[in-house]
Amino acid sequence: MRILSLLFLVVPLAQPAMADDTRPTIAVTGEGVVEVAPDMATVSLGVCTEAPTAAEALAANSAQLAAVVARLKSAGIEPRDIQTSGLSLGPRYDYNRTDSNGQNQITGFMASNNVTVRVRDVASTGAVLDAVVTDGANTLNGLTFGLQDPGPQNDEARRLAVADARHRAELFAGAAGVKLGRVLSINEQGGYVPPMPMAMNEGFAKSADVPVEAGALGVRASVMVVYEIAE
């Protein structure tokens, strides 16, 4: 008898939860975008050198890159904003000639060293690029613009996304002839999306300051909001 009594007590408690899971809802996705001028540029550049021996190629590369780094620092770039991002050393082959073992003949060695540089004064980006190319940088791999602290813009984009979701939910509810109820869940779908890098080559950098236009960035947020349909 005691076992049966316990079972009768448990079943009624489970019923409201099951009914609650079947309540009608409206699920919408809201989007928010904030346009803002970038306050930082990130440049990927480097030095590539060739020489008859590996030691000569690496020594020449190190000296050339040291001059580039020195110029960056003299232009106001802090050491924390200069980071090695790739170092390689390898042979160069003549694929039309082979040695006594039938292997492609080595004609020399190539050393490459790349650095990633954050330029916190966007207006000086063109002058910095021109200066480092003049001092020996012969590889420019790309340029991106960003924000040093995207937090406030991210938060504003999120607020706009939630407001957009509310607007869409009210539109759908009105079209369906129902009333919008309370928010059941909010899930962030995305966040700040950095701009794509702008590919460059060294040919444009031997004149006056390199023309660089920062434009504007779009800081985006996306949220999914589930609303209850009021009875």
Q: pLDDT, tens digit, for every residue of 146-203?
A: 999 999 999 999 999 999 999 999 999 999 999 999 999 999 986 555 544 443 343 4
Out of 16-20, 21-25, 130-134, 178-182, give the one with best mean pLDDT: 178-182
Q: Give the residue with greater pLDDT, 73 vs 96.
A: 73
Domain boundaries, the chain: 22-38+148-206+214-231, 40-96+103-146
* Res 96: pLDDT: 77
Question: In whole angstroms, what is the distance from residue 7 CA to residue 129 CA?
Answer: 77
Give yes or no for a contact between 145 and 197, defined as CB atoms under 8 angstroms apart: no
Which amino acid, 73?
K
What pTM did the predictor assign?
Answer: 0.67
* Res 104: pLDDT: 76
* Res 161: pLDDT: 96
Question: In whole angstroms, what is the distance from residue 5 CA to residue 135 CA?
Answer: 88
Which amino acid, 41?
A
CATH topology assigned to domain 40-96+103-146:
Alpha-Beta Plaits (3.30.70)
Question: In whole angstroms, what is the distance from residue 45 CA to residue 68 CA?
Answer: 10
Say which residue the tokens 């980006």 belong to: 125
Question: In whole angstroms, what is the distance from residue 206 CA to residue 209 CA?
Answer: 8
Give CATH superfamily name and number for 22-38+148-206+214-231: Protein of unknown function (DUF541), domain 1 (3.30.110.170)
Give yes or no for a contact between 202 and 159, defined as CB atoms under 8 angstroms apart: no
Band of pLDDT at residue 213, cut at 50, 70 and 90: confident
DSSP 136: T
Give yes or no for a contact between 133 and 200, defined as CB atoms under 8 angstroms apart: no
CA-to-CA separations, 23 to 19, 166, 209, in angstroms, rounded: 7, 19, 64
